[in-house]
């Protein structure tokens, strides 16, 4: 027969397994794991104390066991808050733990009232798990898979409801003499759900951590770590999606290919580290001046690409000239002295049925002309002129 003690013992083993899983994730340094780890330790220590209710003093089996249970729930909340970049309110939680522990002591040693103790614990659990569900739903990262967050929030809400029902149940029945042998169907059911709540929520936490790790790996793969621009591979992926959308909707899409002028000279004069700084600074001011939805990618070395959705050639040329002027006026200074630079830009706007390779080849050709025509300028290929023999004339000087 399923006794209450065996339910709690199984939960303790389950929590131990979860603790080991969290231990393996501690070195990732992801915020929240330490708090979840601590929460599981508290639960693992609390459960045997509940089981040994008749064999050990009340101080351990009631006061300490409940204090640890409350701390475990607070620890789980604090872990979620930290994971989501929210304040964990540790001081307030510590005050709540102290007050509830005092309530346990008063209604054990003063007036030994089991119902008040149960009501205090179940009310607190219902509140902290509702707060956990709310923080998970309100602050989950919107650019990531929602499933782990919904799962954790649903379990938290289910647990909160069970705690309310448990409180109501003990409020209406005749209080039992011994809780551990009180194996009515309601008590067993509510206690079982309550018991598996924290291990299940820890499982959801592990799912959230895996999601965060995946997001950080994807982020590293999709960005150039030196400049913060997106990687060439990711820019191409975005470009292919945007080209398909442009073909579908009939909206325009322009591509700028930007190359820093005489960059070798900057490296040779000031050193490679200053060259790196120039690339970083160029990327920083360029990203800052683009709209949401535009993308700057590093194509390699000192060459960058900018994708401009919903932008025709005329506007793209204006944007390119704005970027060119801003770079020309940009002075980078440091212990090496001061250094300035200029950029050349090739502009191309997607044509009907055209793919990314052709679009970028056209922007590249325009860049080639910008370089050949003196650098620090913008060149764009005119749509209607594609005659190979007149290629040199096919570019309009857009350096205005
Ligand atoms: N500091 C630094 N230099 C780089 C990086 N990637 C490429 N380079 C250097 O950029 C220089 C590019 O030189 P070139 O291809 O001759 O081009 P350029 O000197 O800019 O001349 P134009 O493009 O014709 O104006 C090379 O010396 C590369 O070593 C980088 O990440 N950091």
Q: Is 259 in the pocket of ligand 1 (CB under 6 A)?
A: yes
Tokens of 225: 């770590």
Query: What does each C-alpha distance from 164 to 113, 115, 158, 186, 194 come to in angstroms?
Result: 18, 13, 10, 13, 11
ipTM over 0.85? The verdict is yes
How far is 179 from 162, CA to CA, in rounded Å? Answer: 17
Q: Which of 263, 270, 370 to mutate to test the pocket of ligand 1 (most atoms within 8 A of CB)?
A: 263
Q: Is 369 in the pocket of ligand 1 (CB under 6 A)?
A: no
Q: Is 302 in the pocket of ligand 1 (CB under 6 A)?
A: yes
At residue 183, the pLDDT reads: 73
Residues 6+ apart with CB under 8 A from 110: none
What are the pLDDT digits (tens) for 84-126?
A: 999 999 999 999 999 999 999 999 999 888 889 989 999 999 9
* For the chain, domain boundaries: 4-222, 232-397
Residue 267 CA: nearest ligand 1 atom is: 1
DSSP E strand boundaries for 275-400: 295-300, 303-309, 331-334, 337-340, 343-349, 378-381, 395-397
pTM of the model: 0.74
| Annotated catalytic residue 302 | yes
CATH number given to 232-397: 3.30.70.270
Q: Is 260 in the pocket of ligand 1 (CB under 6 A)?
A: yes
Q: Is 69 in the pocket of ligand 1 (CB under 6 A)?
A: no
Contact 207, 23 (CB under 8 A): no
Annotated active-site residue in 35, 236, 277, 302: 302
Q: Which of 278, 301, 341, 346 to mutate to test the pocket of ligand 1 (most atoms within 8 A of CB)?
A: 301
The sign of the dihedral angle between the CA atoms of 158, 159, 164, 165 is: positive
Q: Is the pLDDT of residue 60 over 80?
A: yes
Q: Is 267 in the pocket of ligand 1 (CB under 6 A)?
A: yes
> How many angstroms is it from 260 CA to the middle of ligand 1?
8
What are the pLDDT digits (tens) for 152-180?
A: 999 999 999 998 998 888 888 776 766 66
Q: Is the pLDDT of residue 389 over 60?
A: no
Q: Is the pLDDT of residue 393 over 70?
A: no
Mean pLDDT of the chain, nearest integer: 90
Contact 341, 274 (CB under 8 A): no
């Amino acid at each position: 027969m399923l006794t209450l003690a065996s339910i709690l013992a199984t939960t303790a083993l389950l929590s131990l397994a979860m603790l080991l899983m969290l231990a393996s994730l501690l070195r990732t340094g992801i915020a929240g794991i330490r708090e979840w780890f601590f929460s599981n330790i508290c639960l693992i220590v609390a459960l045997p104390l509940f089981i040994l209710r008749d064999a050990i003093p009340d101080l351990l089996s009631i006061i300490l066991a409940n204090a640890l249970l409350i701390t475990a729930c607070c620890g789980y909340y604090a872990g979620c808050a930290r994971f989501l970049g929210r304040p964990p309110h540790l001081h307030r939680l510590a005050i709540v733990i102290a007050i509830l522990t005092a309530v346990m002591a008063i209604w054990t040693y003063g007036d030994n009232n089991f119902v008040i103790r149960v009501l205090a614990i179940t009310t607190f659990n219902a509140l902290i798990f509702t707060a956990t569900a709310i923080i998970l739903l309100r602050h989950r990262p919107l650019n990531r898979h929602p499933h782990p967050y919904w799962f954790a929030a649903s379990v938290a809400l289910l647990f909160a409801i069970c705690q309310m029902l448990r409180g109501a149940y003990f409020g209406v029945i005749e209080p039992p003499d011994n809780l551990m042998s009180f194996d009515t169907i309601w008590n067993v059911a509510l206690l079982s759900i309550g018991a598996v709540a924290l291990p299940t929520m820890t499982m959801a936490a592990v799912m959230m951590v895996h999601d965060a790790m995946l997001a950080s790996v994807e982020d590293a793969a999709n960005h150039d770590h030196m400049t913060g621009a997106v990687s060439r591979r990711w820019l191409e992926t975005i470009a292919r999606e945007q080209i398909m959308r442009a073909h579908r909707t009939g909206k325009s899409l322009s591509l700028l290919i930007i190359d820093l002028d005489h960059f070798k000279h900057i490296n040779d004069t000031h050193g490679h580290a200053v060259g790196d700084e120039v690339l970083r600074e160029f990327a920083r001011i360029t990203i800052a001046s683009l709209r949401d939805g535009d993308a700057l990618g590093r194509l390699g070395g000192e060459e960058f690409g900018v994708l401009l959705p919903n932008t025709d050639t005329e506007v793209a040329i204006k944007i390119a000239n704005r970027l060119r002027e801003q770079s020309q006026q940009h002075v980078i200074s440091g212990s090496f002295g001061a250094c300035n630079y200029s950029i050349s830009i090739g502009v191309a706007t997607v044509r009907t049925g055209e793919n990314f390779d052709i679009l970028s080849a056209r922007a590249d050709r325009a860049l080639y002309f910008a370089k050949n025509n003196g650098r620090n300028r913008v060149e764009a290929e005119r749509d209607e002129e594609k005659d190979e023999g007149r290629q040199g004339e096919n570019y309009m000087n857009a350096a205005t």
